[in-house]
């Protein structure tokens, strides 16, 4: 009887799978204190009975817009629990792309049995207001990916939600947060932003490699069995994801590496994610950003020898130093019967390889704090692929 399903659920590496889900909401956001403060400042009057807030959040894909709004809604409810009853609804306008659908969804989330068929927009909004005020509550509406609705129905609904208390008794019924990727900002342009208040516009930057490292570490700590990953592995995944600055990409790479590691487990193998799990988990990063293996074809013979030396080490290690490059290059030169180039020339070759995005380099302070060292890595390619190509090209290049 085949035991090919044995590893499913074995949990050698993965302890809490939900932590690798994109929709998983972490207890705390990491590295976004400034932005969280900015958002909170737009809601500073919320503890008062009439207080409302507004915010427009824009930023590139995977910069944490949705999770920022989600954690804010969760946290503010707890924070004001003794002062004001806060309800929140998050609507993704990709799935509800007309203003009518959006209002129906909001109502449905607050009161699942509420009839909406046959009601006009005006009637739906009156029902919505009644429902909130009946419970003496305040509602924060988050319209995520709002560009979908704006494209189909314009910005009228925003206006109506912001004016929901006009001509009525009582104030402070609704707060509004709208979210969009910055690429579609043209649709959100001046009219919408000025309607929401241009000082309420929060612009989120893409994640840097350090930001991604913190997020991936947080997910690994939550989801994986302790001891199955090292900080170097986390860093390498962050470097791979840093090309896009997209946190979702980082989590996806971690998840794919976990999957590979889990499935190659047998009685001998170490219960630990290895570099090959990351490289093999995704060798299309280079393709995605358009860096092809052929970039090495135009290198000079000695640039190739330096790169070959690096590939050999980076097949099994995440990073290497300049010293490593020089000593391994010496070995490769001997193998190909070539005279070595000088230290300065090798350095120039390494810089050239970095410019071509074949390799990556980071300067770090060494642990005793007395100096700085350069860590060279190859986040965009599989070292094994590059070295086979080089070994094929080198004989021709040397005998030209
Ligand atoms: N600062 C952070 N701390 C912890 N997790 C984060 C952080 N930022 C993003 N994430 C996680 O990264 C993933 C992507 O974030 P999110 O979905 O919020 O991005 P987004 O900006 O809304 O992307 P899109 O433009 O595609 O809608 C989510 O799983 C989220 O939980
Ligand atoms: Mg989002």
All structural domains of the chain:
31-203 (3.40.50.300), 207-282 (1.10.8.60), 293-398 (1.10.10.10)
The token pair that represents 30 in the structure block: 């990491």
Q: Could you tell me the distance, in angstroms and rounded to a whole number, from the CA of residue 144 to the centre of ligand 2?
A: 7
- The tens digit of pLDDT for each residue in 298-338 reads 899 999 999 999 999 998 888 899 999 999 999 999 999 99
Ligand 1 site, residue 206, Cβ cutoff 6 A: no
Distance (Å) of CA 21 to CA 16, 186, 397: 10, 31, 48
Ligand 1 site, residue 172, Cβ cutoff 6 A: no
The token pair that represents 363 in the structure block: 């300067």
Distance (Å) of CA 349 to CA 192, 295, 316, 326, 358: 51, 14, 22, 11, 11
Ligand 1 site, residue 249, Cβ cutoff 6 A: no
Ligand 1 site, residue 138, Cβ cutoff 6 A: no
The token pair that represents 332 in the structure block: 């490769």
Ligand 1 site, residue 71, Cβ cutoff 6 A: no
Distance (Å) of CA 275 to CA 94, 317, 369, 375: 37, 7, 27, 16
- The tens digit of pLDDT for each residue in 42-83 reads 999 999 999 999 999 999 999 999 999 999 999 999 999 999
With residue 341 as reference, give the H or E element that holds it.
Answer: none
- Pocket probe for ligand 1: among 19, 59, 62, 75, the residue whose CB has the most ligand atoms within 8 Å is 62
The rounded percent of the chain whose pLDDT value lies above 70 is 90
Ligand 1 site, residue 220, Cβ cutoff 6 A: no
Give the residue among 196, 229, 221, 219 at the shortest CA–CA distance from 58. 196
Give the residue among 289, 253, 287 at the shortest CA–CA distance from 273. 253
Q: What value does the mean pLDDT take over residues 174-189?
A: 80
Indicate whether 7 pLDDT > 90.
no
The token pair that represents 239 in the structure block: 């470097």
Q: Could you tell me the distance, in angstroms and rounded to a whole number, from the CA of residue 54 to the centre of ligand 1?
A: 21
């Amino acid at each position: 009887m085949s035991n090919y399903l044995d590893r499913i659920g074995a949990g050698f590496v993965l302890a809490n799978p939900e932590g690798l889900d994109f929709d998983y909401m972490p207890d705390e956001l990491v590295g976004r204190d400034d932005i969280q403060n900015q958002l909170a400042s737009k809601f500073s009057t919320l503890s008062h009975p009439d207080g409302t807030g507004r915010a427009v959040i824009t930023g590139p894909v995977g910069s944490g817009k949705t999770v920022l709004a989600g954690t804010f809604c969760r946290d503010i409810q707890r924070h004001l629990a003794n002062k004001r009853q806060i309800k929140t609804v998050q609507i993704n306008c990709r799935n509800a792309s007309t203003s009518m659908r959006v209002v129906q969804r909001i109502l449905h989330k607050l009161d699942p049995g509420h009839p909406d068929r046959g009601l006009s927009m005006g009637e739906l909004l009156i029902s919505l207001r009644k429902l909130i005020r009946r419970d003496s509550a305040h509602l924060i509406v988050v319209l995520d990916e709002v560009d979908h609705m704006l494209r189909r129905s314009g910005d009228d609904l925003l206006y109506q939600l912001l004016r929901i208390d006009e001509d009525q008794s009582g104030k402070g019924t609704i707060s509004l947060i709208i979210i969009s990727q910055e690429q579609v900002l043209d649709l959100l342009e001046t009219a919408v932003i000025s309607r929401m208040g241009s000082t309420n516009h929060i612009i989120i930057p893409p994640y840097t490699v350090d930001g991604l490292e913190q997020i991936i570490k947080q997910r690994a700590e939550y989801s994986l069995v302790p001891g199955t990953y090292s900080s170097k592995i986390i860093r390498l995944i962050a470097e791979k994801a840093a090309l896009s600055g997209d946190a979702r990409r980082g989590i996806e790479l971690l998840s794919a590496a976990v999957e590979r590691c889990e499935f190659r487990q047998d009685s001998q193998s170490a219960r630990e994610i290895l570099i090959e799990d990351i490289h093999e988990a995704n060798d299309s990063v280079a393709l995605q950003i358009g860096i092809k293996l052929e970039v090495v074809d135009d290198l000079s013979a000695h640039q190739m020898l330096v790169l070959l030396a690096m590939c050999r080490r980076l097949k099994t290690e995440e990073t290497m130093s300049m010293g490593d490059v020089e000593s391994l290059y010496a070995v490769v030169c001997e193998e190909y019967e070539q005279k070595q180039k000088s230290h300065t020339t090798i350095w120039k070759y390494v810089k050239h390889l970095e410019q071509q995005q074949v390799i990556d380099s980071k300067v770090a302070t060494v642990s005793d704090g007395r100096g700085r060292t350069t860590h060279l890595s190859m986040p965009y390619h599989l070292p094994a692929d590059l070295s086979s190509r080089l070994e094929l090209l080198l004989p021709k290049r040397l005998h030209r």
